[in-house]
Amino acid sequence: MSENVEKLLENVWKTLKEYSEAIANGGDVDMSELDKRVREFCGEVSSLPGEKAKEYDKKMQEIVVHMTKIMKDLQKMKEGVSQKIGAADSRQTAFSAYGSASTLK
């Protein structure tokens, strides 16, 4: 296996781990860094001779699985935030309505 490809793969896994931990802790992530690292890794793999590149098939599939999990976790976070915003908006609407009604007395 190519040393440069292995280093790039290590960078991808490191980023995936950091993002997973950040999401688990309710943090934000910028997917552009992961995108950049995956593109670099895939670019290097595609430049390898066929048999050498094939050695990375399973690792690439594992990356896809982890990226899919991250995307699902981000979607869950988004849904949670949307629900909180909806609840806050409902409270604000009620407050505005009752506040307006009490000023009429």
| Domain segments of the chain as ranges | 3-103
Supply the pTM of this predicted model. 0.69
Dig out the tokens for 61 from the structure: 């599939």
Looking at residue 12, its pLDDT comes to: 96
How many alpha carbons fall within 13 Å on the CB side of residue 41? 24
How many alpha carbons fall within 13 Å on the CB side of residue 37? 20
Name 53's Cβ contacts closer than 8 Å, sequence gap at least 6.
45, 46
Q: What is the pLDDT of residues 30-49, one digit of tens each?
A: 889 999 999 999 999 999 99
Question: Rounded to the nearest 5°, which phi and psi values hold at 25?
Answer: -95, 10
